[in-house]
């Protein structure tokens, strides 16, 4: 008797959740908010070049950026030219905050958590945690974004985010969709 009651409750719960999911999709496309569209310019296959202080560029690897789960998840894969360094990320829009959250998993076993925000017209990925403790704030500033390329500036703050110092610049060029 008890198992049949639970079976009925589980069936009703599944039916209700399924209905809610279907009704949300009818009201509008899932995962098509302004927050979801924030990462659209970065989808594709890219080559990354570190910009040296003298302006020379050194090829550092290939990046693939795609969406999954009907546009609800972000997946990035980076590999260095000699395959000695790589990372994979998984991101999603937090429905409570409306902010993209992304976790990087590096080939050395470390993990870093970032949130995507807008700051002075640039898109920022701000580090909010990770497996390696750091005593400063770290962020990636996506700037000069076009369909064919963009620049990422790594920034560091030692005063709680009041001022930021550029630590590295990377030029990223599209090589495929």
> Burial level of 130, CB count in 10 A (0-12/13-18/19+)?
middle
**CA angle centred on 14, ends 11 and 17, rounded to 5°:** 150
Confidence (pLDDT) at 121 = 85
| DSSP letter, residue 32 | -
Task: Provide the residue-wise pLDDT of the chain in tens; the chain has 177 residues.
Answer: 444 443 333 333 333 333 333 333 334 678 989 899 999 999 999 999 999 999 999 999 999 999 999 999 999 999 999 999 999 999 999 999 999 999 999 999 999 999 999 888 899 999 999 998 888 999 999 999 999 999 999 999 999 999 999 999 999 999 999
Residues in contact with 11: Cβ distance below 8 Å, sequence separation at least 6, in sequence order: none
Confidence (pLDDT) at 133 = 87
> Burial level of 116, CB count in 10 A (0-12/13-18/19+)?
buried
Confidence (pLDDT) at 170 = 98
Nearest to 35 by CA among 115, 105, 114: 115
Please answer whether residues 116 and 123 qualify as being in contact, where contact means their C-beta atoms are separated by less than 8 angstroms: yes
| DSSP letter, residue 42 | G
Nearest to 99 by CA among 107, 88, 90, 91: 91
Taking every pair of C-alpha atoms in the chain, what is the biggest distance, in angstroms? Answer: 78
Confidence (pLDDT) at 28 = 65
Please answer whether residues 129 and 112 qualify as being in contact, where contact means their C-beta atoms are separated by less than 8 angstroms: yes
**CA angle centred on 84, ends 78 and 86, rounded to 5°:** 20
pTM: 0.80
CA–CA distance, 143 with 171 (Å, rounded to integer)? 10
């Amino acid at each position: 008797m008890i198992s049949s009651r639970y079976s009925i409750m589980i069936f009703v719960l599944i039916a209700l959740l399924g209905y809610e999911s279907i009704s949300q999709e009818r009201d509008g496309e899932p995962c098509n908010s302004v927050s979801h569209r924030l990462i659209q310019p970065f989808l594709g296959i890219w080559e990354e070049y570190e910009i040296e202080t003298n302006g020379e560029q050194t090829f550092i690897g290939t990046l693939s950026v795609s969406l999954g789960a009907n546009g609800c998840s972000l997946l990035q894969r980076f590999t260095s030219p000699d395959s000695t360094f790589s990372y994979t990320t998984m991101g999603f829009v937090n429905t409570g905050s409306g902010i993209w959250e992304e976790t990087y998993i590096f080939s050395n076993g470390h993990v870093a958590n970032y949130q995507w925000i807008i700051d002075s017209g640039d898109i920022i990925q701000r580090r909010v945690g990770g497996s390696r403790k750091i005593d400063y704030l770290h962020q990636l500033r996506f700037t000069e974004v076009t369909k064919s390329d963009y620049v990422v500036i790594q920034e560091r703050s030692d005063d709680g985010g009041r001022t930021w110092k550029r630590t590295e610049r990377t030029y990223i060029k599209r090589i495929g969709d």
